[in-house]
Structure 1
Amino acid sequence: MKADHETVSIRLAGDRERPLIENLSQFYIYDFSEMETVGSRQMEFGDHGFYPPLPDIDCYWRIEGFRPLLIYVRQRLAGFVLVDTRSHRGGRVEHNMAEFFVARKHRRRGVATEAIRQILLLYPGHWEVAVAERNAAAKAFWPHAITAAPNICRLVRFEGNGEHWRGPIWSFRTVPFGVDK
């Protein structure tokens, strides 16, 4: 499958679709759990056999600038994205890629890169993408995915200061499609 705008689509999740993101977040947390250090008390199942919900998940349906998005491949649910306005360098930013998840079945096929391309075209402005220091795959993926979008300018990589974030933070602007950078 060649991932492109005909096979991959992004939709804003409404209230009725919140359970989809909550359910998919279980797989997202599960994927992250393998990066926890031995003896960590983080990312443990609760007594009911599920992970606790993502922190502040309800904000994505209540706060201006917070966006819950769903990723579809050929009209089938394939992942989710949470965009907010929290900067990992302190303060606020127009758009922050807070959480990004594509189901394993669709990874390494261009789906994530195409989803990011579409999101960055949909929401022009100042962006940040922060990646946890321990997430080697994401550290390799994000610079490629960001620069694959046609409307990127002023891309800068920062290192988290250990207080707000540990790991790389990519800061950049996206311009509306068709506008010169």
Structure 2
Amino acid sequence: MPDVTIRRAGVADRPAVERLWLMFRHDLSEFDGLLPGADGTFPRNGWLDKAFCDPDWAPYLLTSGGSPAGFAFVRSLDAPTRVLNTFFVARGARRTGIGLRAVQEIVARHPGAWEVAFQDANVAAVRFWRRVATQIAGDAWSEQRRPIPGRPELTPDVWISFSVLGEAAAAESHG
């Protein structure tokens, strides 16, 4: 695996994350049909601002060999169930293990119940998230389809749920 760093993104990282956001939205446009605006960029939906400004959110930057390779936004940090709200790995870094490692490190930093949503039509995401859930939780994960709030015309998202033990709890369960 290439040299990988997964770290909480700071204000200085925001321009890189904003550029990665455009790539993320471009990838999703295959599934939601969204086209760029007149200026050639995809609209932001407020998640980017929340990730960097809301204390209940956490942005993460993934780097490989010192280059930005992806990002993740976690929300509901203070809720019983955290949500991996947004997750993206640049195409050049995919299938290298970076994505799995990033999810493992991020969820380990916030032990407890987790959920992540993706689209059934995104076959690569379906395979990836099922594999991630199995790697993290064995067979102790579940999957369900939920309508997208305010978008009844869209196919429901697939949600995977699993739990991650804290280090102390994990040590107790193995001891």
Tell whether 2:163 aligns with 1:167.
no
2:166, 2:90 → 1: CA distance?
A: 29
CA RMSD of aligned residues (A): 2.3
1:89 corresponds to:
none
Contact 2:148 2:157 in 1 (8 A): no
Cα pair distance change 1:25/1:163, threshold 3 Å: closer
Q: Which segments of 5 or more consecutive residues in structure 2 lack a partner in the other structure? A: 150-154
Superposition deviation, residue 163 in structure 1: 5.2
Q: 1:147 maps to what in 2?
A: 134
Give the deviation of 1:30 after TM superposition: 0.7
**Could you tell me which residue of structure 2 aligns to residue 127 of structure 1?**
114
Q: Summarize the Cα distance change of 1:95–1:49 in structure 2 as closer, same or farther, 3 Å threshold.
A: same
**Per residue, is there more helix in 1 or in 2?**
2
For the 8 Å contact 1:68–1:83, the answer to whether it is kept is yes
TM score, norm. by length of structure 2 = 0.83
Is 2:93 aligned against 1:106? Answer: yes
Query: Which residue, 8, 21, 24 being the options, matches 2:20?
Result: 24
For 1:167 and 1:60, the matched residues in 2 are separated by: 21
Aligned counterpart, 2:40: 49
Return the letter of the residue paired with 1:100.
F
Aligned partners of 1:152 and 1:175 also within 8 Å: no
What is the rounded CA distance, in whole Å, between the counterparts of 1:19 and 1:45 in structure 2? 19
